Amino acid sequence: MSSPGVVVGVDGTVASRNALAWAVEHATATGSRLTAVTAYWAGPVLDEARGSVLAARRSNALHVQMRAIAQLGSATSDRCEIESRVVHGAPAEVLLEASEGERLLVVGTDHERGWRRMVDGSVSHDCLRDASTPVVVVPVEDAAPVDLDLDAEVLRGSGSEPAEIGA
């Protein structure tokens, strides 16, 4: 079994891109494994459409993650190998499970307040509250979505579950 590593949540937002950059620097400095985790949610879907909806959401989530990693530049792959995981489920739950037994969990936050946080919740808050491993929350001043040529709602699905890992 490999030694504990670093897990980072990636959802295509500026907040998660900053968290990914911080995690790469930390993993490089400490010689740790780095795993990028992206969650996607399908919400309630008719049984006959479920397979195709899940496949499309998974494909889009993988695209979001690969674009975020690519935006770090080619120097990143020379310094740090990043394992990719794309998992169906609520983002906080997916990250908490992925980080069990690991050295560190890294998430981004755009400091959502008020109504949106009440409705969507806060993945970073849930991770801070429930993680069994230390959590680093990387803040961002301007959390506008990264231009990934995808609708930000793609990962969210039609259900009420949040999909913004870095939020």
**Domain span at residue 132?**
6-154
Read off the pLDDT of residues 125-165 as tens digits, 9 standing for 90 and up: 899 999 999 999 998 764 344 444 444 444 544 444 444 44
User: Is the separation of the CB atoms in 17 and 68 below 8 Å?
Assistant: yes
DSSP notation for 99-127: HTTSSEEEEEE----HHHHHHH--HHHHH
| pLDDT given for residue 153 in this prediction | 47
Would residue 134 count as lying in a domain? Answer: yes
H/E segment holding residue 6: strand 6-9
Domain count for the chain: 1
Radius of gyration of the CA atoms of the chain, in A:
15
Residue at 165 is within a domain:
no
Is 162 part of a structural domain of the chain? no
CATH number at residue 29: 3.40.50.620
Is 147 among the domain residues?
A: yes
Coil, strand or helix: which one is 158? coil
Q: Identity (one letter) of the amino acid at 90?
A: A
In a domain, 163, yes or no: no
| Structural domain contains residue 17 | yes
Considering the domain boundaries, does residue 93 fall inside one?
yes
CA distances from 52 to 55, 133, 150 (A): 5, 35, 18
- Specify the 3-state DSSP secondary structure of 151: coil
Cα torsion 50, 63, 155, 11: sign: positive
Candidates 26, 30, 8; CA nearest to 17 is 8
**Any domain includes 167:** no
Joined together, the tokens standing for residue 152 give 């930000």
Question: Could you list the pLDDT tens digit for every one of the 167 residues in the chain?
Answer: 578 899 999 999 999 999 999 999 999 999 999 999 999 987 776 667 778 888 999 999 999 999 999 998 876 767 888 999 999 999 999 999 999 999 999 999 876 654 455 445 589 889 999 999 999 999 876 434 444 444 444 454 444 444 444 44
